Structure 1
Amino acid sequence: MTVAFAQSWQMFKTSAAVLRTRKELAVFPVLSGVASVAVTASFVVPIVAVDLWDRSSAVTYVLFGLMYLASAFVTVFFNAALISQADLAMRGGDPSAAGGIQAAAARWPRILLWALVSATVSQLLRMVQDRVGFLGDLLVSLVGAAWQVVTFLVLPHMVLADRGVVDAVRDSAASTKRTWGENVVGNAGLGLFGFLLAIPGGLLVIAGIMVLGVNIAGALALVLVGIALIIAAAVVTSALSGIYQTALYRYSVDGMVPVAFAGADLAHAFRQR
């Protein structure tokens, strides 16, 4: 695991280098966030209206379900767009927001289906978690983590290999067998990096709340800057995750080291098992 950690750290640093040279890749998490806010806002009015009219109405639950699915679709859609352009960048091409959206739009039916599957699995795991004790909760968490690892390469298979959902899940599982160590360590490392990157923003928000009664203008400024830093951390982490995910897929499938990652020695980082 120590070796896997060192290799994954090298991968992370190289992913950051790719993002520094291809900053346009960060536009996809931004678009995803904006679209998610728009989707949520579009459902708020009808949900509130129905709830005020009849609190026991099943329509409310249907609307919440549709909002959850629409939000999942938006997230998966822009992740697919990011992966398509990250792969293009690694092959020496010129990525663009329009190119990514076009690539994802061409596959929207399977993206919608995968959003439905992943959202359903997440919701079922959450429902089970709410109804079990400590040991059961731990078991469900492990199942959720395993699901995330096994399906980590589903989107690259869908977008880059033009596979359907069922075939993409099967291919992702097969790829995971060859790269599980770096998959697990990479995911954990990216999560830790995102958390650490968001700490300054969180501290500013806390500081702003603490001085709220003393200096309202200063408190507001601290909170706004803190929120901006947290959003920036989320954007960077999401972009890095897509780059890492794409590189992992590319080598696990065809054994080719992406040009942008040549210095990371992927041939050893993703050793055959």
Structure 2
Amino acid sequence: MFQRISNGWSLAKQSWRVLMLDKELLVFPIVSGFCCLLVLASFIVPLFATGYVDVVLNDGQISPEESQNPIAYIILFAFYFVNYFVIVFFNSALVACAIIRFKGGDPTVADGFRASMNRLPQIAGWALLSATVGVILKVIESRSEKVGQIVAGLLGAAWSVTTYFVVPILVVEKAGPIDAFKRSVSVLKKTWGESLSANFGIGFISFLATIACFVPIGFGIFLAFNEQFVLAGALVACGIFSLILVSLITATLNSIIIAALYLFASEGEVPTAFDNQLLKQAFVNH
């Protein structure tokens, strides 16, 4: 167990090295986040009209009246589909660039977008399946406040875990949604320990960085109470910007690690910029 944690920590650090080689990879989560805000803005009126805006923004509960409204579910399904499409499109572009780097190339942002454009049918198919699962989970959740929440939460967690490698599979194998799901489960069986420990390493670093970001925000609030508004505003703005940056870097590092683990598990190929011995140790017990 400790060896896996150590391997995961090392994988996280080597993913950082890859990001330093290709800082432009941060473009993809930035544009993805902006596009998701546009999607939400475009759906805000129908979501308000059906009462589903609280579900989207706050993961709120669906009232009995709303759960009987088929139009509400259609709108929610459409929102999920477009949102998932945007997220998977940009994640695919990021992973494609990471794989180019792993194979010794020098990727550009254009390479990433080109790869995603070439996989539009696969991305749309996966977004369709994900939206369907999302709506089904909401239906289950709406049936009972307590039991529905627990069941939907467990199923949602299982879905997130089993679809961990879907994006690199879409990028490399151009698989359809069902085949991508099956392949993701297959790869996960080989890499679950390393995937978990690598995410733990990144999550722990992200947690520490997030705490550090709240320090200037806290000082800013303290200064605001003492009517030092200019300095307070600057500190709060600095803290918020840092939080956004940490979130973007964390998302990018996660995608890099997913691509690296997939490449090694599926092809037995050690990605360039990753330590050969490290990955061999990571999979020695599988």
Query: Partner letter of residue 44 of structure 2?
Result: V
Q: Which residue of 2 aligns with 1:218?
A: 231
Q: Which residue of 1 aligns with 2:21?
A: 21
Give the CA deviation at 1:28: 1.0
DSSP 3-state at the match of 1:251: helix
Give the CA deviation at 1:41: 2.4
DSSP 3-state at the match of 2:105: coil
Return 200-209 or 40-49, whichever deviates more.
40-49
**Aligned residues of 2:141 and 2:148 also touching (Cα < 8 A):** no
Distance 2:202 2:22 in 1: 19
Give the CA deviation at 1:147: 2.5
Task: Kindly provide the CA deviation profile for residues 40-90 of structure 1, in whole angstroms up to 9, marking residues without a partner as x.
Answer: 223335656898xxxx89766644543333222111110011010100011
Note the 1:94-105 alignment, pairs <5 A: 94-105=106-117
Q: Which residue of 2 aligns with 1:200?
A: 212
Note the 1:64-213 alignment, pairs <5 A: 64-122=76-134, 124-125=136-137, 128=140, 131=144, 133=146, 137=150, 141-213=153-225
**Aligned residues of 2:81 and 2:131 also touching (Cα < 8 A):** yes
Give the CA deviation at 1:25: 1.5
Cα distance change on mapping 1:46 and 1:110 into 2, 3 Å: same
Distance 1:169 1:59 in 2: 29
Gaps of 5+ in 1: none
Query: Partner letter of residue 224 of structure 1?
Result: A
Give the CA deviation at 1:143: 4.0
Query: Partner letter of residue 15 of structure 2?
Result: S
Give the CA deviation at 1:17: 1.0
What's the C-alpha RMSD, in Å, of the aligned pairs?
Answer: 2.9
1:258 aligns with 2:271: yes
Give the CA deviation at 1:254: 1.1
Give the CA deviation at 1:194: 2.4
Query: Partner letter of residue 37 of structure 1?
Result: L
> If the length of structure 2 is used for normalisation, what is the TM-score?
0.82
Distance 2:85 2:201 in 1: 26
Q: Which residue of 1 aligns with 2:58?
A: none
Task: Kindly provide the CA deviation profile for residues 156-179 of structure 1, in whole angstroms up to 9, marking residues without a partner as x.
Answer: 111111211111111111111111
Return 231-240 or 179-188, whichever deviates more.
179-188
Query: Partner letter of residue 156 of structure 1?
Result: P
Task: Kindly provide the CA deviation profile for residues 172-198 of structure 1, in whole angstroms up to 9, marking residues without a partner as x.
Answer: 111111111112222333333323222
Cα distance change on mapping 1:133 and 1:62 into 2, 3 Å: closer
Cα distance change on mapping 1:140 and 1:192 into 2, 3 Å: farther
What number of residue pairs does the alignment pair up?
269
Give the CA deviation at 1:252: 0.6
Cα distance change on mapping 1:145 and 1:219 into 2, 3 Å: same
Give the CA deviation at 1:226: 1.4
DSSP 3-state at the match of 1:260: coil
Gaps of 5+ in 2: 52-65
DSSP 3-state at the match of 2:275: helix
Note the 1:22-37 alignment, pairs <5 A: 22-37=22-37
**Aligned residues of 1:10 and 1:264 also touching (Cα < 8 A):** no
Give the CA deviation at 1:149: 2.3
**Aligned residues of 1:4 and 1:185 also touching (Cα < 8 A):** yes
Q: Which residue of 2 aligns with 1:241?
A: 254
Q: Which residue of 2 aligns with 1:7?
A: 7
Q: Kindly, what percent of the aligned residue pairs are identical?
A: 37
Distance 1:228 1:175 in 2: 36
Query: Partner letter of residue 18 of structure 1?
Result: V
Query: Partner letter of residue 27 of structure 2?
Result: V
Cα distance change on mapping 1:134 and 1:58 into 2, 3 Å: closer
Distance 1:65 1:183 in 2: 30
